[in-house]
Structure 1
Amino acid sequence: MLDGRLLIDAHLHPARLSTLKPAWKRWAEQYGAPGWRSAFDDDGVIVPAAFDELLEAEGVDRAILLCEYSPKATGIQPVEDLLPIVKHNPDRFAFLGNVNPHLHYPVAAEVHRQVDLGAVGLKLHPVHGGFSAADPMLYPAYQACVERDVPVVVHCGTSTFPGSMNSMAAPELLDPVLRDFPDLTLVLAHGGRGWWYDQAAFLALMHDNVWIELSGLPPSRLPDYYQRFDLRRLARKFIFATDWPGVPGVARNARAVAALGLDDDTLGLVLGGNAMLVYFSRTA
């Protein structure tokens, strides 16, 4: 708990450092809070107990961990690397699966495999993976997520990592997916960061099953990013997330959200309630 509220961080990257490109490490050093390396051992591998203690100190009740298969941009961070962390404290840790249609075939089989490992959702990274979220190659993955009743998180924001394809980040690319899979829950990671805040907000307000995830967004800037919308209304579709380790602090970000002046009910949804609904309602 943080200041008496449930706190769920829905976007963390506890990756094995040896699997990552140099740009990822520079990003973590530039934007991360001092001491983020304390969760890793000398070989650059997360120490589950140390990571658990770090998040406990930040007031995090539950944390959703991400893997990634993006060899051109960040590297391959296999889902299996997350399993020891989750095993250490399954009450705090959960994880998202990840597929790249250039690497996984058939994609539906890989989705089912990762959900069977315990994934509470699927992350797609079109920008780092070099594909469109509307590519028909991904339709079997979407169908698998509908069948397994798990959400899909799609990176919808610019990336500065070499090899990124920022044209693939536009939320509007998800319009045919929403048309063809009306029962699919979609989460827009990074909330349209860069040029697409309006697109992300419009989709979230138009569709009950679309959410905006705040990873990588300074909370104090949210009123500016979504200035064309009623922030109090839009915030009811927000899911708190940080993009750890590239964040000045989880508790610091959460308190910055609290400082936006949202009503108590809405703030509770942003910091934990919406994530509980999207990721954990089927296992509750």
Structure 2
Amino acid sequence: MIDGRTVVDVHVHAPRLSTLRPAWLDWADEFSRDHDWRSAYRENGDPEPAAFDALFAEQGVDHVMLFSEYSPRATGIQRFDDLLPLVEHNPQRFHPVANINPHLHFPLVGELQRQVDLGAVALKLHPVHAGFDPGDRELFPVYAKCVELGLPVIYHSGTSSFPGSRNKYGNPELYLDAIDCFPELNVIFAHGGRGWWYEAAAFLVQAKPNVWIDLAGLPPKKLPDYYGARTLSRIAPKMLFGTDWPGVPGASTNVRALAALGLDEVTLRTVVAGNAARLFPRAGIELTTTGRETPDD
């Protein structure tokens, strides 16, 4: 907890360092700033479960969604299976998120089911790093399976600076067919349209009941600049807290920066935990009993 609030970080990377391209390591070192993220790793570059657990406990993060990513052209291979030692160490805190790449996996639904059987609580798709169109009909059986299993789909929305990225696939408009054809599918725009698509992401969040935003990689103090103060007040109840760890100052720093924006207490609790509890039912997130953390339906 941070300042009496349950906190869920819905966007964390914890890969084996030996599987990554150099640009990923440069990014992590540049943006981690005031914390030594490498202290959570062993000398061989593998995550140390006890150190990871202690790090997020010290930061006050109650639940962590751990990302995998199969994007050899941009960031490397962050295997889903490599997350399992962290989850086994503390399944109450750590929850793995599936990832598939249509260039690498076949059949797609079979690989999704394999990762779900191993504990995945959501699916992350990264069209920008993996280089594919998220609106391709080949992915529709995957979306149907996510509806069946109650999994939200997290999309990278917006630009990426990693060499090999295909930034045209970060356009939120590319997800419209999936959003409209699968109204029971909860779609989360990671990074909220970062770059030149903030307005498009904000419009879809307001127009579509099944669209949400995660704040990973977005400095909270800049949110009024990205979305405008009036728009921010309208879309804040559909935001989820995420850091993009390790490329952040720290979860506690960002939660307190969110609180400094002047959001009402119900909305703030909704952002830092309530929406995650609703959208990630497989994670079994329990909210505090003091104060409401989800808005009235």
Question: TM range, normalised to the smaller chain?
Answer: over 0.9
Query: Where in structure 1 are there 5+ consecutive unaligned residues?
Result: none
The secondary structure found in structure 1 opposite 2:164 is: coil
Correspondence for 1:105: 106
Query: Where in structure 2 are there 5+ consecutive unaligned residues?
Result: 286-297
Aligned residues: 284
Separation of aligned partners in 1, 2:59 and 2:187: 27
Correspondence for 1:66: 67
How much has 1:229 moved relative to structure 2?
4.4
Listed one character per residue, the Cα deviations across residues 258-283 of structure 1 (whole Å, up to 9, x for unaligned) are: 11000000000011111111112685
Report % sequence identity: 55
TM-score (norm 2): 0.93
How much has 1:179 moved relative to structure 2?
1.6
Do the aligned partners of 1:198 and 1:228 also contact (CA within 8 Å) in 2? no
Correspondence for 1:15: 15
Alignment of 1:1-284 (within 5 A): 1-33=1-33, 34-227=35-228, 229-280=230-281, 283=284
How much has 1:228 moved relative to structure 2?
7.1
Aligned letter for 2:132?
F
Do the aligned partners of 1:145 and 1:152 also contact (CA within 8 Å) in 2? yes
Separation of aligned partners in 2, 1:118 and 1:107: 17
How much has 1:230 moved relative to structure 2?
2.8
The secondary structure found in structure 1 opposite 2:115 is: helix
The secondary structure found in structure 2 opposite 1:216 is: coil
The secondary structure found in structure 1 opposite 2:96 is: strand
How much has 1:227 moved relative to structure 2?
1.0
Aligned letter for 1:161?
F
Separation of aligned partners in 2, 1:157 and 1:188: 9
Do the aligned partners of 1:149 and 1:282 also contact (CA within 8 Å) in 2? no
Do the aligned partners of 2:179 and 2:210 also contact (CA within 8 Å) in 1? no
How much has 1:147 moved relative to structure 2?
1.0
Do the aligned partners of 2:277 and 2:284 also contact (CA within 8 Å) in 1? no
How much has 1:10 moved relative to structure 2?
0.5
The secondary structure found in structure 1 opposite 2:106 is: coil
Aligned letter for 2:259?
A
Separation of aligned partners in 1, 2:282 and 2:103: 32
The secondary structure found in structure 2 opposite 1:182 is: coil
Compute the RMSD of aligned alpha carbons.
1.2
